[in-house]
Amino acid sequence: MKMCLKRPLNNTLTGCILSSSIFFSPPSLAVELSGKGGGEILNFFQEAKYPEQHRAYYSLFIEPELYYAIDSNREIKAQLFYRYDATSPSRTHADIRELMFYQYADEWEIHAGIGKVFWGTTESRHLVDVVNQVDLIESLDDEARLGQAMLQGMLIKEWGTLDVMLLPNFRPLQFGDLETRSRFNLPIADQAPRYQSKHQTNTLDLALRWNHSFDHLDLGISYFNGTQRTPLFQVVTEQNQPKLLPMYVQSQQVGLDAQYIVNDLLLKAEVIHRNSHQLNAQNQFTAYQSNALVAGVEYTLVGINDTVYDLGVIGEYLYDEWQAITPFQKDWMSGLRWVFNDEQSTEILLGHIIDLDDQSQIWSLEASRRIGDNWTAELIGRWITNPDPNNIFIQSYQQDDLLNLKVRYYF
């Protein structure tokens, strides 16, 4: 899957703010450069389903970060990303993760530019995290996100923090060419995506969130109005071949995320209600409402058997009424998080999701360890067991069990 930087991400307002901050403010500190870079091997256990695909993919990446303090109340941060893949041209891509101007005061903040915002509490799926589009090329689990142009205001009071964001320039998912792996069983259509909004990508979305901490409870309530980040798909015919055409609908979403800490027990949940749209038999967009939920627990056994090791036991229930946008209609996720508490910050997370309807199962493994002062190694695995032939999502990944090794150098 592929993400290409095809057009500017910041609008005129953002550009003016950044330019005026850089060129008309007296510098007080030099630019600080940091970041990370490294190499990655993506290796699949099985032979590819399609002749264009490969068994292994080799790439290099770099993610520099820049920080510039204008004065005690203003600063600029930038985070850039580039990957070069020697095997697949589709995996060679770049993105501006962050290019943001920050203005701070006692009870408010203004952020303008390109940035990333994370909302959510649960482990398996982040229902409320709707601001940034997913970077499919980097995401085996939807964790990596593209930078989003935004004008963000925050009001910080004793009764909580109110976050208001205007989000111009919608970014659709970018899919790779036929050599990418994993991909859908049907290829993506060559024609442009279909949009419900007449403005297509030139939209202005709105996102709001209030959050507050009450002793052991962290609570957030969010609202989103704009182009839904997750597309629907319509089967079309191109060159006498069926293909998938992404369709982006307008949606309003109300969400709640919460986590409650009781000693070594963490209770967490994300709940959303969508007022969205879908395609009817006459090929027209019609209103569609749906609800979704992720709720679960994580209990940490601290110092098991009088050692320095901690073991976290995770369980989450996933429910979603909208089958067209997710495979997780009724699933259960189990996980074990082993924290070594050593100088190398070693951690291992084993995850398992089972479809409660057809018993299809997805397994995952994440292990990371620091090597010396500047290096880290990360190993990610994913494999499918007991696939149901009627589960379209599982069938798309059935022959794509993989191991992903990343080595990073921090500078």
- Count other Cβ atoms within 10 Å, centred on residue 212: 15
Look up residue 133 and give its DSSP letter. P
Instruction: Please tell me the predicted confidence (pLDDT) of residue 25.
Output: 43
Statement: residue 24 has pLDDT above 70 = no
Containing H/E element for 82?
strand 74-85
Instruction: Please tell me the predicted confidence (pLDDT) of residue 139.
Output: 83
- Residue 336 to residue 246: CA distance in whole angstroms: 36
Containing H/E element for 19?
helix 12-23
- The 10s digit of each residue's pLDDT in 153-194 is 999 999 999 999 999 999 999 998 999 988 888 999 999 999
- The 10s digit of each residue's pLDDT in 101-132 is 999 999 999 999 999 999 999 999 999 999 99
Instruction: Please tell me the predicted confidence (pLDDT) of residue 164.
Output: 98
pLDDT band at 141 (very low <50, low <70, confident <90, very high): confident
Instruction: Please tell me the predicted confidence (pLDDT) of residue 29.
Output: 57
Instruction: Please tell me the predicted confidence (pLDDT) of residue 393.
Output: 86
Instruction: Please tell me the predicted confidence (pLDDT) of residue 157.
Output: 98
Q: Where are the domains of the chain?
A: 12-410
Statement: residue 17 has pLDDT above 50 = no
- Residue 243 to residue 330: CA distance in whole angstroms: 28
Statement: residue 269 has pLDDT above 90 = yes
- Overall pTM > 0.75: yes
Statement: residue 42 has pLDDT above 60 = yes
- The 10s digit of each residue's pLDDT in 52-62 is 999 999 999 99
Containing H/E element for 66?
strand 56-71
- Count other Cβ atoms within 10 Å, centred on residue 390: 10
Average pLDDT over residues 71-100: 96
Instruction: Please tell me the predicted confidence (pLDDT) of residue 185.
Output: 86
* % of the chain with per-residue pLDDT over 90: 84
Average pLDDT, whole number, for the chain? 92
Give the sign of the dihedral formed by CA 395, CA 396, CA 402, CA 406: negative
Domain spanning 12-410 has what CATH number?
A: 2.40.160.10
Contact (Cβ atoms closer than 8 angstroms) between residue 101 and residue 77: no
Average pLDDT over residues 262-275: 97
Give the sign of the dihedral formed by CA 178, CA 230, CA 256, CA 148: positive
Average pLDDT over residues 221-237: 97
Instruction: Please tell me the predicted confidence (pLDDT) of residue 266.
Output: 98
Statement: residue 276 has pLDDT above 50 = yes
Average pLDDT over residues 313-331: 96
Contact (Cβ atoms closer than 8 angstroms) between residue 70 and residue 25: yes
